[in-house]
Every structure is written in C-alpha cells, then in structure tokens.
Structure 1
C-alpha cells in the first residue's frame, strides 16, 4: 500500500509547523520548501485553505486519502459535531495510541510495531494499525518484545506526557485507553471544521 516515506521536514515546512514532532531542520528553515519558498505568496483561496488542513491531518496521522475519506463518512454518521468525532476516531486508532503512550517515538514507528506483531490489545496480538480501541481496553507490549531496544529507548526518552484519556504502567509495559478524548484534550493543531466544509461541498 502506498504511503508517504519522503522527507518529513519538507512536509512540515509546507504546513508551517513541525507536524511530525521536534525538528531542528524545520526550525532552521521555517518557510515553505522550493526555490521560491521564502518569498511572499499570493493569498490562498478558501478551497486551498480547506484542502491544506485536510492534508495536514492526513500526514499527521499517517492516513491515505481513501482511508481518511472513509473515516470521515463514519464520523458523519455518528452523533455529535462531525469534526470533533473525526478527531476522536483518529485518536482511537491503535497506532496513534501506541505513539501517545510513548512505546514508539513517532506514529510511523508505532505503525511498524503494530504491523510486526509487537503490540497486544487485551492480551491478544493485534497487527492492524487502524484498529479502533474501545474504552477500558488494555494496550501492551508483547512479552517477547519487551526487551526490544527501539521500544525501551522510546519509553526512556519519552517525556511521558500525561494524557487524561490514557493510563500507563511502566512495570508491566501496559497502558489503558480510558475513553475517547474531548476536542479540548487533543493537542494537534488541526482546524477540523475546515475539513468538514471541504468534504461537505
């Protein structure tokens, strides 16, 4: 399946913010990529602004267009504000929660860990990154994988930022997905209403 594996700093510069996390190269070149990147650009159209916001969300969470569109359709059919429901669903993905718990340094690395069968949900191996977690499900590192350097390095270097919807036990290397987070709890700088407006056209 095609997935973006190109230069991440280039994408971050395109959106004007480090969407993949701290990036020293982004800080050095905080302007759009390309030959004319640091020149003043003409005003972006309303459609352009909406499209950019959708692309930002896609790259941030590592989804392809078809996946993102399908997720939006599901969000549209649920009760609540569509944009907020969409972000809640993105945050409930297994690869995202593995990243949030600090088991992996990035969402791409979290996706790899899930695909390579290093992650369990309620004690059973789950190798589907898009698996949607339900409240009170337990996410853990498989017993055989607890000594993996990549996981231990990530846990050691993670600031163990506390998210109110997650719990982590470093001794058992297990975390719990307590609930789908509210919009105010999600730190991503995404204007979800613009995405809703784009898909509603």
Structure 2
C-alpha cells in the first residue's frame, strides 16, 4: 500500500507557480452568449435580400446602329476604285469618252483566255497600239458568269466573279504598261458597258 506524500509549503508554492504558467491542452468549449432582450424586444434575425427584378432578354449587338444584313465586306468594289482614280487626261476628252462619243481605234477580246494567256496578249496589244500612235483602245473582258460579287467555290478566300475583269486594271498599272496608259475606265454601254474597258494611251514620243 502506497502512502501519499505531502508537499512542504515551499514545494506547494513552487507547484502553484508552475501551474499558473501553463495552458490547458483541451480548453472547455464556450457556449454562445444568450441573446439579450432590450425593453422586452427580441433582436431581429438576419434580413432576407429583396428579390431582384427579372431582366429582359438581351442579344449581343442589339443596340448597334449598322446594317448587318449586308455582311462586313470592307473592301471597295472595282467600280469604286476606278471612279476614285484621278483624271490624268484632258477632262473634255474624258467626258466624251465616258459618254461613248469617242470611237476606239483598237480592240482586243480576252474571252475564254487563261490568266497567263490573257496577260501576255494584253501586253502585246497595248505595246503595239501605243507604237502605232493609237490613243483609245477597247479591252473586252466580260462580266463573269453567275450572280453576286463572288464565285461559289469551296476555297477559304472569296474569289471575285470575272477574274479577267478584276485583273486587267491591275495589269495596266504595272510595268511596262503603266508608263503607256493614262486612263482606265468602264466602257460605255454601246461598247460593252461594264464588260469592257476604255484604255486611253499616252502620246508616242
């Protein structure tokens, strides 16, 4: 049988000092303080948020001020580019030419030709006409088959209808033809309209 050992006063004082400097490993959980009533009025519970008014259906871009039915083709048309060109020839003569009052001195028809064949034929035609002192030549390209601005194909890049019609003005700006040509414009309806071009050449030196 073990006997309980009694601490001396000095040992008891030392133990009490050590006990006061320690913390409990598992402190007892504290209960929340009870809600107090002030003047017999219980505190209100959490307020509920007011219901938000339902928003009307919204479509992206519905407030835009442009017409989306025509697509987003930002490139100017061939007619617009030709009309924007400065007049490099006599304006009175230019007006007569646009009205179909000038008779072309030479004519070439590029119908049915490939691009490479048409380019070579056009170059020979313009150089020969200029060498002979011709001033107004008529280049027939055709308008292109089908309707619409672009051809119906499966390529990733839209191909404009009337490839020759689109290429001829470009070829006429490049060397060596660019130095011989003063003006390019759509022909009058009597000479083929938008399926042909008037090509006004510079004077031979």
So what's the TM-score if we normalise by structure 2?
A: 0.23
Q: Name the structure where helix makes up a greater proportion of residues.
A: 1
Find the structure with the greater CA-based Rg: 2
